[in-house]
Amino acid sequence: MRKSNEHANKCRDEGNKLYSTRNFFDALLKYNESLCYALDESVSALAYANRSAVYFEIKLYEHCLTNIEFAKLNKYPEKNAHILLSRSEKCVALMNRDSDKHRQLPENLSCFTKLSYKENSQMPFIVDCLELRTNDVFGRHIVTTRDLKVGDMLTFEEPYFKVIKSDSRYESCQELNKYQRCAACLRDNLMDLIPCKKCISTMYCSQKCLEYADRNFHNYECNINETLLKAGIMQMVMRVFFQSLNIFNGSIDELEKFLNDCTKTSTCVYDFDFSTTDEHKLAKSYLLSSYNLARNEAVTSDESSHSIFMLDPLLIELWDSHSIFITKFIKRFIKIYDSNFHGICGWSVKKSENYEAQMIGVGCYCFSSLINHSCSPCINRLYSYDKLIIVVDRPIKKGEQLFDCYRSPFFKQSKSERQYSLLNEYAFRCQCEACVKNYPLFHSLKSFNKKLLKYAKKSKNEIQKLDFVEAQRKFQEICSIIQDSKEYPSSEIILLQECVQQCLSIILKPKNLIL
């Protein structure tokens, strides 16, 4: 599909119908689709103007004014200019009148953005007490050099390589995610997004993100983006390839030479300095730390990359001259994808009864990818847009290993099923404490403290109703109870851990929702 004013106008008409029934979320989706398809500025101008009307209705006045400005910049018809002028005057008056009340954009995690301990000097996104160890059983793994408490925040890691998920036949993600959030940073910006000037399926939250994407990957993707969005694993693997190529200004020879020279010695995220402001150096460090997440050459098959390369003349040229290197690179990252990449969870800004997180993207987190699995984990993984936050779930003693749970925890799935899927998907036989000691499923778990069990059950029911501030208080309260509990596993601790997750999800969810 190409840009088309006709399609853009049709989407805008549909948006207007939805607007008239006050279905503002779906109206914004349609206006955003209209912006993506619009060929002429005058057609974009109408979509921006309509979007400003939505933001006015939902009292997001700054967004309303920005959209009015965009409409004007895109040659909004002179004869209707008075409509925008009047809306903008009303906006300003309401903003002045309700200066303390009008809906601000609260940054998620306002007081939840701090690591619990001093940051690592070379990796400022993790605390300084996490060390890398290697042994025959676990390969590389992470241990703590100090006691860690329940609720401690250990990382705020951003992925260098990441993609937005949309339209996928393979993953459960919202088909229209591409009209809801920035393709570069995954923020929703309350759907106030700007489109790529050339393709029909990429939007950004700012000009800065648009330029970043054009410089780093979209220059290769723009022509084939529709295919990539539907390409499952290959969407992310191709992103890594394109972004890597851009590090070397498009020279595949230089990329190949760099990887050949640098990967003779095994390196990982601990070997680089991520505190540098030198973007080029950083990019190379990310590339090598990601490339070396695989510990040996890949033996996976790769059927679809050839057909993707055949879609664009520039890519055909690359393939014809370097098919051996490209195949090796792609196979390696397919393997890394399978055992190391993380699905990124996030929330839509649509108000709904069943307001659950969904998959919004995939990211390569070079540090977090070194954490091994346990069916009875001691950390919890959360996302604030693309940032991966690791929170301590059970007390961890100095010298102990950090364990995440890759699949289902022990209380949700039988040992044989867990072991089967870990062996199949991650190629290891799990020997975690839950597997060795045969921890039971939830319904067979013992309770050691009836009073605490009652408190846990009551809390679980009440938490849904808590607001942001109350959820933070409850989070602290429950974390210290888990910290002080001695008996594990028990039904009360499992329930309390679920309460902690519920609190965190309230804290992380977008605060402004669109009807």
Ligand X SMILES: C[S@@+](CC[C@H](N)C(=O)[O-])C[C@H]1O[C@@H](n2cnc3c(N)ncnc32)[C@H](O)[C@@H]1O
Separation between Cα atoms, residue 191 and residue 44, nearest integer Å: 15
Nearer to ligand X, 243 or 340 (CB): 340
Nearer to ligand X, 257 or 295 (CB): 295
Nearer to ligand X, 72 or 141 (CB): 141
CB 398 within 8 A of CB 408: no
Nearer to ligand X, 32 or 290 (CB): 290
In whole angstroms, how close is the CB of 482 to ligand X at the nearest point?
22
In whole angstroms, how close is the CB of 368 to ligand X at the nearest point?
8
In whole angstroms, how close is the CB of 405 to ligand X at the nearest point?
10
Token code pair at residue 78: 């002179």
Nearer to ligand X, 227 or 401 (CB): 401
Nearer to ligand X, 223 or 401 (CB): 401
CB 311 within 8 A of CB 277: no
CA angle 30, 34, 40 (to 5 degrees): 165
Could you give the C-alpha distances from 360 to 112, 344, 352, in angstroms and in order?
A: 21, 6, 17
* Helix, strand or coil, per DSSP, at residue 474: helix
CB 391 within 8 A of CB 153: yes
- What are the residues whose beta carbons fall under 8 Å from the beta carbon of 471, sequence distance 6 or more? 463, 502, 503, 504, 506, 507
In whole angstroms, how close is the CB of 265 to ligand X at the nearest point?
15
Separation between Cα atoms, residue 95 and residue 106, nearest integer Å: 16
Nearer to ligand X, 3 or 342 (CB): 342
- Give the total residue count for the chain: 515
In whole angstroms, how close is the CB of 289 to ligand X at the nearest point?
11
* Helix, strand or coil, per DSSP, at residue 403: strand
Separation between Cα atoms, residue 8 and residue 275, nearest integer Å: 44
Separation between Cα atoms, residue 158 and residue 212, nearest integer Å: 15
Token code pair at residue 100: 């303390």
In whole angstroms, how close is the CB of 423 to ligand X at the nearest point?
10
In whole angstroms, how close is the CB of 139 to ligand X at the nearest point?
3
- What are the residues whose beta carbons fall under 8 Å from the beta carbon of 365, sequence distance 6 or more? 157, 159, 342, 388
In whole angstroms, how close is the CB of 293 to ligand X at the nearest point?
6
Nearer to ligand X, 11 or 379 (CB): 379
Nearer to ligand X, 132 or 513 (CB): 132
Query: What residue number has its CB nearest to ligand X?
Result: 139
Residues that bind ligand X (CB under 6 A): 137-141, 295, 339-340, 369-370, 372-374, 426-428, 430, 432
Separation between Cα atoms, residue 484 and residue 357, nearest integer Å: 30
Helix ranges (DSSP H) in 145-251: 207-213, 219-221, 225-229, 233-247
CB 125 within 8 A of CB 111: no
In whole angstroms, how close is the CB of 267 to ligand X at the nearest point?
12
Nearer to ligand X, 249 or 296 (CB): 296
In whole angstroms, how close is the CB of 373 to ligand X at the nearest point?
4
* Helix, strand or coil, per DSSP, at residue 463: helix
In whole angstroms, how close is the CB of 140 to ligand X at the nearest point?
3
Nearer to ligand X, 195 or 363 (CB): 363
CA torsion 347-164-382-121 (nearest 10°) is -140
Token code pair at residue 483: 């910290």
